[in-house]
Amino acid sequence: MTEDSKSGAEGPVKKTGRLKWIGIGLGALIGVGALFVATKSPAARPAPDLEADDSPATVERGKYLFEHQLGCGECHTERDWTRYGGPARGAIAAGTPTCWGEDYGLPGEVCFPNLTPGAGGLKDWSDGEIARAIREGVDRHGDVLFPIMPYDNYKDLSDEDTKAVIAYLRSLPAVDAERAKTHIDFPVSFFIKFAPKPLSGPVAEPNRNDPIALGKYLTTVAGCRSCHSQVDKEHQPIPGYEFAGGQLFPGPWGKVRSANLTPDPETGLDVSEGEFVQKFTSHADPAVQRPVNPSENTPMPWLAYSKMQESDLKAIYAFLKTIEPVKNKVEIRPK
């Protein structure tokens, strides 16, 4: 009998066999994990049974929301970034022929689809599927939308406003255009599957007679909160810096940081209501859309917001004035 046998130690054959089964077990575990990663679906409920009203008033409301409040056209309409504010140069909502990638700080290629009723657009989508995509972040097949589509903001979009947007999209001239598909690099492609959050019930209208409540609604659905709040490397909001600015936006305009919108008198929003409104409406002048160098341009959708109703702009101002001031000096054009 060998010394190994006396001491109870395993011989080389037993060790090899044991390692083999450990390897098989680990391989199976990795395989199961890989299968989970590959097949994980985002949380999604069935598309709601919803039908948009196509009355002229509803379509007009949807046009206002799409073009001047929600900023949908900033991504889904081709823009001319050689001119200030990137005015539209393609068919409204027909998607874009180019995608955004690393130059925009994105983990892959993000493409913007055709939203018209044409082929390659929303032709075969139900109203409920469109509503679910807007507010819950999944397409008609249940696949996740990259969260540059701000469904975390739009989840607060009221049922009536959502239906108005859908009615407007249905009214647009059909453009037959199949746009490129978004491709997100791993592991972000896996983690974004956890982003969609199904709605649990109806979303009510804001109290439009309460300027502060309306302003809170507008700063959410119009993206003020998400763009003007600081975020960490995982793009999660940094506590205490909501609306305090400083978020970086790289693109054809160079690198721009969002401004501090809190009412801090030294580093934030220290203007009168009239000055605030005029800052927006002044961009409605066609002369604003002049040719500019990239370093003079901006990702802020001034041209869209310039035609926002004065009552809505005043409501936004009223709400911003209720926010806790945060002293945060922002260098808008970081060197």
Please report whether residue 251 resides in a domain. yes
**Cα angle, residue 90 at apex, residues 68 and 285 outer, rounded to 5°:** 45
Which structural domain, as residue segments, surrounds residue 58?
Answer: 43-203
221 domain-assigned: yes
DSSP-assigned states of every residue in 144-212: BPPTTS-HHHHTTS-HHHHHHHHHHHHHSPP----PPPPEE-TTHHHHGGG------S--PPP-TT-HH
What tens digit of pLDDT does each residue of 233-256 get? Answer: 888 889 999 999 999 999 999 999
DSSP characters over 69-107: IS-THHHHB-B-TTBTT--B-S-TTSB-SS-B-GGGT-S
In this structure, is residue 14 part of a structural domain? no
Domains held by the chain: number: 2
Check whether residue 253 and residue 124 sit in a common domain.
Answer: no
Q: Could you read off the pLDDT of 270-292 as tens digits, one per residue?
A: 999 999 999 999 999 999 999 99
**Position 20 in a domain:** no
- Contact between residue 205 and residue 162 where contact means Cβ atoms under 8 Å apart: no
Do 250 and 171 fall within a single domain? no
Please indicate, yes or no, whether residues 229 and 131 belong to a single structural domain of this protein.
no
Quote the pLDDT of residue 294. 85
Same domain, 198 and 222: no
pLDDT-derived band at 219, boundaries 50, 70, 90: very high
Residue 242 lies in a domain: yes
**End residue of a domain, out of 142, 175, 203:** 203
Assign 267 a pLDDT band (cuts: 50, 70, 90).
very high
Give the residues across from 109 on adjacent strands: 183
Which residues make beta-bridge pairs with 249?
256
Does the pTM exceed 0.85?
Answer: yes
Q: How many residues would you count in the chain?
A: 335
Within 8 A by CB and 6+ apart from 211, the residues are 314, 315, 318, 319
Q: Show the tokens assigned to 39.
A: 């097949």
- In this structure, the answer to whether residues 84 and 195 fall within a common structural domain is yes
Looking at 203, 229, 260, the residue that finishes a domain is 203
Measured torsion, CA atoms of residues 107, 113, 119, 122, in degrees rounded to the nearest 10: 120
The answer to whether residue 9 is domain-embedded is no
130 and 59 part of one domain? yes
How far is the first Cα of the chain from the last one, in angstroms, to the nearest whole number?
77
Residues 156, 121 share a domain? yes
Last residue of some domain: 165, 182, 203?
203
Residue 3 lies in a domain: no
pLDDT of residue 84: 96
Residues 151 and 296 in one domain: no
Give the separation between CA 172 and CA 175, rounded to whole angstroms: 9
Q: Which residue has the higher pLDDT, 55 or 90?
A: 55
Helix count (H) and strand count (E) of the chain?
Answer: 13, 4
Query: Band of the pLDDT at 29, cuts 50, 70, 90?
Result: low
Query: Is 240 domain-assigned?
Result: yes
